[in-house]
Structure 1
Amino acid sequence: MNVIGMMSGTSFDAIDAACAEITLIDHRLRLRPLGMLSRPYSQAVATRLARALPPAATDLATLCRLDTEIGQAFAELALEADRGLCGGCAALIASHGQTVYHWVEAGQVEGTLQIGQPAWIAERTGKPVVADFRPRDVAAGGQGAPLVSAIDAMWLRGRPGRPAALNLGGIANLTLVPESGEPLAFDSGPANALIDAAVRLFSADREHFDRNGDWAARGRVDETWLSELLAEPYYLRPAPKTTGKELFNLAYLQRALARRPGIAPGDALATLTALSAESVASAARGLGVTELVVSGGGTRNPLLMTMLERALGGVRVTSADALGLPSAAKEAYAFALLGFLTWHGLPGTVASCTGARGPRVLGAITPGAQALTLPAPACPSRPLSLEIVG
């Protein structure tokens, strides 16, 4: 079955669409990557989205407009991906949409909102769409994230030691898959969120990210300020836990900068990059991680990766590409797999990773052009392993 997975992360720098051939054999999933496309939002949509995200206030008219415009942008890319990557043979599209709010009170997630109306995708492509993945896990008492943990748990199962998967998006999330016992997953803190916010601030919004870590590389880490930043209470909270730009946003950065008046932009960015590396490394060390399999946009920042490897000490760092899953497309492929599981009536969560009362089938299905006929559930429980084939 060919499935297109679609994702736009907390950095909202682009929409990713990845096409995968997925099969289920007994309790084993097999995924063959067929390619990825990535397209940025239009400047107008990106600007409206940036102005609507926390800590900004917004209104229902803006939210409605963004829901439509983002849905239309996903729809156009889905059609392009189906024709260009799947030869028009995609059977299903799985859309994460765009997270605009993750409501957390005293460590408990009370609600989560992803927009990008899937009806536009179904109408444009004629294919059924699975979307709105996170709320079911939240309703079951879970964090609603990181949902990629279910895929990580299958993918890394059987690797020696205590391997963990790390995704460096706007927020860093970590999934530990021990040889025995249940997997554990959580958001460790900011990866690119504060770095991107600082670049936007220091460049008066002319630049949106620190390309290749060049700006930070010209600065020096302010060790005193770094220690203050690492005192953030979130880092000490036990897993499972999730966070987002509701916490690590421009206002958070501005409060932190106010405690360091006059700091040079390069020094600030070097320190924020060190914060991302050290907060991940501290979490990994605390779990006894022996191998870290890394993916996401942060892998394209050489300074961040150098700082991370240095902070990890002897922990082996492996790219997701080395294990057959393209690093830049990992989350899009993960949602293709989650969509496949939903389509077959199988749960897409691991309770020990999200904190839910138990595994749940995720999402809501929007029919395509044909009558909606779901297959019988493929097996009584979630698959136990994932094989990536070339």
Structure 2
Amino acid sequence: MRVLGLLSGTSHDGIDVTVVDFEESGGAVHGTVLHEDSVPYDPELRSRLIAALPPAQTTFAEVCELDTFIGQAFAEVAAAAAASVGGVDAVCTHGQTVYHWVEVGHARGTLQIGQPAWIAERLGVPVVSDVRIRDITAGGHGAPLVSFLDELLLRGRPGVSAALNLGGIANITVVGLDGLSAYDVGPANALIDAVVVAERLDDRGYDADAAIARSGRVDHALLEALLADPYYALPAPKSTGKEHFHLDYVRRMTEGRDIAPADLVRTLTELTVRTVAQDVRAAGIRFLAVSGGGCRNPLIMQGLRDALPDVEVVLADELGASADGKEAILFALIGWCTLHGVPAVVPGGTGAREARILGTITPGAGPLRMPQPVGRVESLKLTAR
């Protein structure tokens, strides 16, 4: 079964897409990655999305229109990717998270937009969507779902190993003799990107090659204030997002401080390094595979290696999943699992009471025909075509 995975992460800068051809025998799954790409949002659509995100106020009318426009954008990206490999059997779309509701340490709800019916109509194949909420109803955080893929890729490694994703939010999956734990560490690129956009420091909307941060200096007083945020002291499992870590948060933290934009970006970059490094040390991790946009920030990567001299810090490519495309591969895998009746979640990764089959299925052009169920995924091997 060829499954196309789609998502836009908490950096909301574009749409990541992959196509994976899955084969299964006796619970052993082999996935051949046929296509990977990342397509930027249309600038006008991205601007509308950013303007509607918390803590901004919006309207149901704007949410409805964005749901359609993002769904149509996803459909176009999916159609191009499917055509490049000669077609797909199914799609799994994460959509675009616009709100993740956490209250008193528990996730209560989550909202992803990007109407999947547009994808089903454009491609004519079943579409799995809305994949986080089922985990939340079972007591989980609905995040980080990538812990399911991480556990399969890290399984069997000696000692304590981990997979770190540096998107808008940093999340980590830790696998050791005592089992698995996973959670959102805190902001990775979210606050950096917010400042770069607000201060118009780079038209691309991010700190390319850490050029801005390299020109600044760490404001240690501000850094200590940022590190005092209560979120970092919460026990796992936990999740967060731009509902908490956003531009107004930065403005509140810098109120009354005279800090140059480059120094602010440098300090926020160091915040990511410090928060990740302290959790890696606390867990006794010796192998760390990094993915997401932040792994292309040389200052973050060098900072982690300097702070963690006893840890082997590598890119996720060494596990068989590309550092840039791992989360899109995750959603392709979730789609395959849902259609085959397999729970694509690890309770230790999200805090759920039990694993659940994820998502909602929108039929394609014809009758919905489900494949023969598979008991569970015992192993996963990924290769590139």
Superposition deviation, residue 136 in structure 1: 0.3
Partner of 2:14: 14
Q: Deviations over 1:52-90 (max 9, x none)?
A: 001101100000000000000000011000011x212x1
SS of match in other structure, 1:96: strand
Distance apart, 1:303 and its partner CA: 1.1
- State the distance in 2 between where 1:330 and 1:48 align: 27
User: In the alignment, which residue of structure 2 is the partner of 1:87?
Assistant: 86
Letter in structure 2 aligned against 1:366: T
- Are residues 1:44 and 2:37 paired? no
Q: Which residue of 2 aligns with 1:360?
A: 356
Partner in structure 2 of residue 53 of structure 1:
53
Alignment of 1:27-176 (within 5 A): 27-84=27-84, 86-88=85-87, 90-176=88-174
> Which of the residues 181, 185, 189 maps onto 1:192?
189
Q: CA deviation at 1:204?
A: 7.4
Q: How many Å separate the matches in 1 of 2:254 and 2:171?
A: 25
Q: Contact 2:153/2:319 (CA < 8 Å) preserved in 1?
A: no
Q: Determine helix, strand or coil for the equivalent of 1:177.
A: strand
Letter in 2 for 1:87: G
Using the alignment, how far apart are the partners of 1:271 and 1:166 within structure 2?
21
Q: Bigger shift: 313-322 or 101-110? A: 313-322
CA distance in 1, matches of 2:210, 2:310: 23
Give the whole-Å Cα distance in 2 for the aligned partners of 1:171 and 1:347.
Answer: 24
Counterpart residue identity of residue 127, structure 1: V
Aligned 8 A contact 2:320 2:381 in 1: no
The SS at the match of 1:254 is: helix
User: How far apart, CA to CA, are the structure 2 residues paired with 1:29 and 1:274?
Assistant: 39
**How far apart are 1:207 and its partner, in Å?**
4.9
Cα deviation, residue 350, structure 1: 0.8
| TM value normalised by structure 2 | 0.97
Cα RMSD (Å) = 1.2
Q: Which runs of 5+ in 2 are unaligned?
A: none
Q: For 1:74, what is the secondary structure of its paired residue?
A: helix
Residue 318 (str. 1) matches residue 317 (str. 2)? no
3-state SS in 2 of match to 1:133: coil
Identify which of 325, 347, 350 aligns with 2:346: 350
Aligned counterpart, 1:217: 214
Q: Quick one: structure 1 residues 224 and 353, their matched pair in 2 at CA, closer, same or farther if it must change by over 3 Å?
A: same
From 288, 291, 310, the counterpart of 1:295:
291
Does 2:275 correspond to 1:279?
yes
Asked whether the equivalents of residues 219 and 263 of structure 2 are also in contact (C-alpha less than 8 Å), the reply is yes
1:144-171: CA deviation from partner (whole Å, max 9, x where unpaired)? 0000101111111001111100000000
Contact 2:89–2:125 under 8 Å retained in 1 = yes
| 1:25 shift after superposition | 1.9
Q: Does 1:388 align with 2:377?
A: no
Write the letter of the residue equivalent to 1:14: G
| SS of residue paired to 2:304 | helix
Could you say which residue in structure 1 is the equivalent of 2:250?
253
Q: Deviations over 1:9-43 (max 9, x none)?
A: 01011101101111222122211111212211112
Give, in angstroms, the shift of residue 205 of structure 1: 8.2
SS of the residue corresponding to residue 212 of structure 1 reads helix
Shift of 1:389: 2.4
| 1:239 pairs with one of 228, 236, 245 | 236
**Worse-superposed segment, 195-204 or 159-168:** 195-204
Moved over 3 A (4+): 204-207
Partner residue in 2 for 1:25: 25
Greater CA drift, 306-315 or 191-200: 306-315
Uncovered stretches (5+) of structure 1, i.e. residues with no partner: none
Separation in 1 of the partners of 2:293 and 2:18?
15
Q: 2 CA distance for matches of 1:207 and 1:320?
A: 25
Distance (Å, rounded) in 2 between the aligned partners of 1:22 and 1:204: 43
- Percent identity, aligned pairs only, is 52
**Distance in 1 between the 2:199 and 2:57 partners?**
22
Contact 2:96–2:112 (Cα < 8 Å) also in 1: yes
Take 2:132 and 2:2, find their aligned partners in 1: how far apart are those partners? 23
Per the alignment, do residues 290 and 205 of structure 1 end up closer, same or farther by CA in structure 2, a change over 3 Å counting? closer
Answer yes or no: is the 8 Å Cα contact 2:154–2:319 preserved in 1: no
CA distance in 1, matches of 2:285, 2:378: 21
For residues 22 and 181 of structure 1, what CA distance do their matches in structure 2 show? 30
Q: Cα deviations across residues 324-371 of structure 1 (Å, max 9, x unaligned)?
A: 211111000010001100000010111111111100000000001121
Number of aligned residues: 384
Question: What amino acid does structure 1 have at the position aligned with 2:314?
Answer: T
Asked if 1:183 is matched to 2:177, the reply is: no
Using the alignment, how far apart are the partners of 1:160 and 1:22 within structure 2? 27
Output the CA distance in 1 between the equivalents of 2:345 and 2:204: 37
TM-superposed CA distance for 1:206, in Å, is 4.6
Letter of the structure 1 residue corresponding to residue 93 of structure 2: S
